[in-house]
């Protein structure tokens, strides 16, 4: 992809919880609004599996169509959204580490050269700031369950 720029951010936390407890929160797609404050509402019907489509309503923004790309139960899932400037891929990984579990969330976008300035100014800062906040909220929700 000549003249494109890859944007990538990731955040990882360790939590004293079982994989099952974490996965129960992650599988509740409509409930993502409880830990990711960037989302106002999520419309979702169907199984938690690759190919399933849903709609995300970001706070104060245009709704986004989303689709699960990969779902490996108790291990990882990813979904992609099409925004006006590019496609954004969100990935979540869960791994058992002794008595603890590690949760990693990643966001990746490949942006056309003509849209880089606008994306880096208007979109990317919100994604970078929002990711660790959402992940910490997820941990709080898992620990409270």
What is the reported pTM?
Answer: 0.91
Domain that holds residue 56: 4-144
Number of folded domains in the chain? 1
90 backbone dihedrals φ, ψ, rounded to 5° = -110, 125
CB 37 within 8 A of CB 46: no
Alpha-carbon gap, residue 19 to 92, rounded angstroms: 13
Alpha-carbon gap, residue 91 to 55, rounded angstroms: 17
**Using one digit for the tens of pLDDT, what is the confidence trace for 66-118?**
999 999 999 999 999 988 889 999 999 999 999 999 999 999 999 999 999 99
**Using one digit for the tens of pLDDT, what is the confidence trace for 29-47?**
999 999 999 999 999 998 9
Output the domain CATH number for residue 129: 3.30.530.20
């Amino acid at each position: 992809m000549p003249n494109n720029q890859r944007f990538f951010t990731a955040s990882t936390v360790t939590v004293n919880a079982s994989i099952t407890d974490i996965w129960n929160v992650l599988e509740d797609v409509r409930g993502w609004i409880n830990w990711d404050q960037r989302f106002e509402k999520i419309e979702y019907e169907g199984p938690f599996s690759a190919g399933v489509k849903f709609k995300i309503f970001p706070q104060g923004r245009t709704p986004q169509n989303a689709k699960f790309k990969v779902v490996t139960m108790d291990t990882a899932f990813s979904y992609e959204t099409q925004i006006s400037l590019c496609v954004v891929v969100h990935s979540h990984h869960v791994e058992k580490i002794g008595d603890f579990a590690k949760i990693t969330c990643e966001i990746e976008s490949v942006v056309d050269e003509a849209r880089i300035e606008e994306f880096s100014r208007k979109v990317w800062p919100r994604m970078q700031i929002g990711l660790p906040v959402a992940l910490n909220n997820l941990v709080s929700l898992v620990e409270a369950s």
